[in-house]
Chains A and B, each alone.
Chain A
Amino acid sequence: MMSLVSYLIISLILFIVGLVVIIARKNIVAILLGIELILNAAALNFVAYSRYVTNNLDGHVFSLFIIVIAAAESAIGLAIVIRFFQIKETIHIDEATQLRN
């Protein structure tokens, strides 16, 4: 039941779901949720490989860094969302087509 491939399949499902969320949703916060799912799929892969393939803890360290980066990304991303909302009064992604104003 538990093997490298089972973890990879779970991670693949997470990735696909994250992808669908990113593409299908138009709400920026929802897209950030999708990004979190994708990042977690990657981190899960790292840890799984570290147990089943490399037998050292580098994968754990990498997934820790992924967690750090995800935290930083969501902080910055949500700050941008709030700022965007202040300016446009909407957080629809299709409104964010210009680099200024």
Chain B
Amino acid sequence: MFIQLLFGLSALLTVGCAIAVAVTKNIMHSCVFLLGSLLGIAGLYATLGADFVAVTQIMVYVGGVVILMLFAVMLTGGKDFVSRAQNLLGLAPAMGNKWTFSVGLLVGLVVILTNVKLIMNIAKAYPAKVIGNDFPSTVSQIGHLLVKEHVLAFELSSVLLLGALVGAAIIARPRKQG
């Protein structure tokens, strides 16, 4: 029962906050709703028995990415900009207008149509099966996977993180003017 409840609440939080990210006018609020959505996804991970992934999700996104986003919004002013460049749909404000949203929804509709087909096929291929509520600890298994089968990807991701660290520091550092 708890898991069903957790699933329902998490799904609601995820979807609701995600939609709020899309529709809210304030970019700062968008960031905070993104935080809610990501927490909801962590909850969904928990219902899938992925305890380690769930906590990593909270750790990385809440502790890192969202705060980074908030900083970026603040450093770039967070106010609305109007483009000086011509667009097909004319001048669009930074947070979009009804035209941009209509285009977005149209494309979204295309993707939905595509995916509905895929999901229906998947539902046929993997009919709903009952899976018990036993959640064995995944931590040690993930540890073994990371240093055995996926060791190359593991090492590469460490190189990637180092590269991102150095790259971000170099790109964002203040340069001499003139």
Contact = CB atoms under 8 A, between A and B. Distances in A.
Given A14-B18, A44-B44, A72-B160, 4 more contacts: A44-B41, A61-B150, A76-B168, A78-B68
Interface in B1-27: 3-4, 7-8, 11, 14-15, 18-19, 21-22, 27
Interface of A: 1-10, 12-27, 29-30, 32-34, 36-37, 40, 43-44, 47-48, 50-53, 57-58, 60-61, 63-65, 67-76, 78-83, 85-86, 90-92, 94-95, 97
Nearest to B118: A8
Interface string B57-82: 10011001100110111011100011
A60 B138 contact: yes
B94 A26 contact: yes
B75 A85 contact: yes
Given A21-B22, A33-B31, A61-B145, A51 B111 contact: no
B81 A27 contact: yes
Contacts of B112: 12, 16
Contact of A57 (B41, B45, B69, B141): B141
Contacts of B122: 4-5, 8
A61 B76 contact: no
A50 B83 CA distance: 44
A10 B123 CA distance: 14
Interface in B22-54: 22, 27, 30-31, 34, 37-38, 41, 44-45, 47-50, 52-53
A33 B129 contact: no
A47 to B, nearest CB: 5
Contact of A25 (B44, B75, B96): B96
A75 B93 CA distance: 25
Given A25-B96, A26-B95, A40-B41, A64 B171 contact: no
B128 A23 contact: no
Contacts of B11: 6, 10
A3 B71 CA distance: 38
A74 B22 contact: no
A12 B119 contact: yes
Contacts of B146: 61, 64
24 contacts: A4-B126, A8-B122, A10-B15, A13-B18, A16-B112, A17-B19, A18-B18, A24-B96, A27-B27, A29-B73, A36-B61, A43-B41, A57-B138, A61-B146, A61-B153, A68-B157, A68-B161, A72-B160, A76-B167, A76-B168, A78-B71, A78-B168, A78-B172, A92-B82
Contact of A47 (B19, B48, B149): B48
